[in-house]
Amino acid sequence: MTTHRLGDAPSYDGKTIALHWLTVLLVVGQWLGAHAIDWFPRGVLRTDMRSLHIVFGSFLAVLIVARLAWRWTRGRALLSPDHGALKLAAAIVHALLYLLVVATVGLGLLNAWVRGDSLFGLVNLPKLAMGGKALNDQVEHLHALAANAILVVAALHATAALWHQYWRRDGLLRRMIPALRGRS
């Protein structure tokens, strides 16, 4: 892993940036999609919407593994412009985001198996009978709670990035948005 000072490398490598923004799109899309599932009447449309949610959740699981593997091996690491408590807070927020995404995806996949979901009416996941409706309700609640927590922590993360860019004017946001290069 290569480390650079803020001025030495104005942005992360292209793959890191692409993986970051694809993760953002999938997380937001999954959160919105989850809330839209119940808009559809019971039957084929609702099954298809839930199936899409499961498929994209599975894709998010693969994406997170790829993102972590890239980050730990060949991804460019940039030094934090912060020191002390702010640097620690940034590290905690990043770790919490990864943890919450992994937990949410894991709970979502468990939820699909506990319910015994059908994927597009083509494949039926075996229903885990242990616990019945009580387990289903608990896993579904934890999945939703973790998904909502992602949005709260991500909003904190985005707010900190905007604070860096527009209050401290240290160019931090340019690292993840190369189109901002040359701007303060």
How buried is 160 (Cβ within 10 angstroms: 0-12 exposed, 13-18 middle, 19+ buried)?
middle
Q: Angle between the 84-115 and 44-73 helix axes, to the nearest 10 degrees?
A: 140
- pLDDT average, residue stretch 123-131: 81
Distances (CA, A) of 183 to 76, 172, 174, 177, 179: 22, 11, 8, 11, 9
Beta pairing, strands 2-4 & 76-78 = parallel
- pLDDT average, residue stretch 98-111: 96
Query: Could you tell me the pLDDT band of residue 1, with boundaries at 50, 70 and 90?
Result: very low
Whether the full predicted model's pTM is greater than 0.85, yes or no, is no
Tell me which DSSP letter residue 127 carries: P
Residue 2, strand partner residues: 76
Contact 169, 5 (CB under 8 A): no
Mapping DSSP to helix (H, G, I), strand (E, B) and coil, where does residue 41 land? coil
Higher pLDDT, 140 or 87: 140
* Closest residue by Cα to residue 164 from 149, 151, 176: 176
Degrees, nearest 5: CA angle 115-22-4: 130
- Whether the predicted pLDDT of 97 surpasses 80: yes
* Closest residue by Cα to residue 23 from 49, 73, 69, 57: 57
Question: Using CA atoms, how far apart are residues 113 and 120, in angstroms rounded to an integer?
Answer: 15
- Whether the predicted pLDDT of 137 surpasses 80: yes
